[in-house]
Amino acid sequence: MKKIPIIIDTDPGIDDFFCLALGLSYSDIFDLKAVTTMGGNNYTEITTANAIDIVSLFKKEVPVAMGAKRYLREGFEEPVWQHHGHNGLADAEIPHCERSADPLPAWDKIAQVAKEYPGELVLVTVAPLTNIALAIEKHPELKQEIRKIVMMGGSTEEGNITPYAEANIGHDAWAADIVFRSGIPIDMVGLNVTLKCPLPREVFDPISKDLDPLIRQTMKTMIDFRKGEPMHDAVAIASLIDEDVLEFLPAEVTVETENEERRGQTIVKENSGANTRVAVKADLPRYYKVIEGMCH
Ligand code: RIB
Ligand code: CA
């Protein structure tokens, strides 16, 4: 089966680590062309260093291109240390890799790869959408070149950074608005399904016995840090590995930007005028099978 060329746009980040682990491990399914980094869970310099260290931990040679150091209209707030630890990776120590980031910024790296794989490139976005919006604004031809975006973001129910906004949408609602208006097909994997996909140690330990010991220990540390809570970003990419992990419905999705209280809310209208497929149900055993498959 032909591999899917993908770019993962990420702010590692504990659950981003699990998403990258799947993207790096399923090399029979993915041709991971680049990792692009964004702030959110931590500052972009930190998430970029983390991404370089993670790629090296999995012994892969994948370019890491640094992204925006602020959102479209405002700077970063101080990261919420208790969610991802001070180093962004549950304060787990992984070997530091001296490799530098790619010479291209994230938005130009996305455009470069999209030109190599027109109509084939899939963007897996698991961070605020600033880089994607900047890429679309600077390279409008991307609207025709990108096959689809698989996004951890939004919700058909409540948010998590406010009652209305999920973090990847709410941190840069204006960027999200540009992306949802772009016409690029989107698979939206929101909190309404990811919150139903916990990853506790009692599931992880028995299925990860064959995993590289350092990777396994790092993942155990992260799972403990998050007390078995969902690894949201891993659920999104899992749907590319096994399409039956998630059930999607077509919908029109818009992003609230003007109303300050509701800013970042994803307004989902199930209809034929759909710009998005919205995940509405998860098959937990199939998701766990995808996690298990990473370990062999
Ligand atoms: O709301 C969850 C999302 O925000 C995940 O991508 C997590 O890594 C954080 O960035
Ligand atoms: Ca993330």
DSSP labels, 103-164: SS-HHHHHHHHHHHSTTT-EEEEES-THHHHHHHHH-TTHHHH--EEEEE---SS--SSSSS
H or E element in which residue 285 lies: helix 284-294
Residues near 50 by beta carbon (within 8 Å), at least 6 away in sequence: 12, 13, 17, 42, 87, 88, 89
Supply the pLDDT for residue 272. Answer: 66
Task: Note the Cα 116 to chain centre separation in Å.
Answer: 22
pLDDT digit string, tens, across residues 37-78:
999 999 999 999 999 999 999 999 999 999 999 999 999 988
Count CA atoms closer than 13 A to 232's CA, side-chain side. 27
Q: Name the average pLDDT for the chain.
A: 97
Cα 231 to ligand 2 centroid, rounded to whole Å: 9
Residue 263 in this model has a pLDDT that exceeds 90:
yes
Kindly state if the Cβ of 11 falls inside 6 Å of ligand 1.
Answer: yes
Kindly state if the Cβ of 15 falls inside 6 Å of ligand 1.
Answer: yes
Kindly state if the Cβ of 233 falls inside 6 Å of ligand 1.
Answer: yes
Q: Is the pTM of this model over 0.85?
A: yes
Kindly state if the Cβ of 14 falls inside 6 Å of ligand 1.
Answer: no
Cα 238 to ligand 1 centroid, rounded to whole Å: 15
Cα 111 to ligand 1 centroid, rounded to whole Å: 24
Question: Which residue of 41, 80, 81 sits with most ligand 1 atoms within 8 Å of its CB, as the best mutation to test the pocket?
Answer: 41
pLDDT digit string, tens, across residues 86-97:
999 999 999 999
Neighbours of 15 (CB within 10 A): 27
Supply the pLDDT for residue 97. Answer: 95
Closest residue to atom 1 of ligand 1, CA basis: 167
Map out the domains of the chain as residue ranges. 4-294
| CATH number assigned to the domain covering 4-294 | 3.90.245.10
Nearest-ligand number for the alpha carbon of 236 = 1
**Ion ligand 2, residues whose Cβ is below 5 A away:** 11, 13, 16, 126-127, 233
Q: Mark whether 232 is an active-site residue.
A: yes
Residue 106 in this model has a pLDDT that exceeds 70:
yes
Sheet bearing 148-152, strands edge to edge: 64-66, 30-37, 4-10, 122-126, 148-152, 186-189, 276-282, 246-255, 266-269
Cα 214 to ligand 1 centroid, rounded to whole Å: 24
Whether residue 27 contacts residue 64, with contact meaning beta carbons closer than 8 Å, is answered with: no
Cα 1 to ligand 1 centroid, rounded to whole Å: 31
Percentage of the chain with pLDDT > 90? 95
Kindly state if the Cβ of 9 falls inside 6 Å of ligand 1.
Answer: no
Kindly state if the Cβ of 16 falls inside 6 Å of ligand 1.
Answer: yes
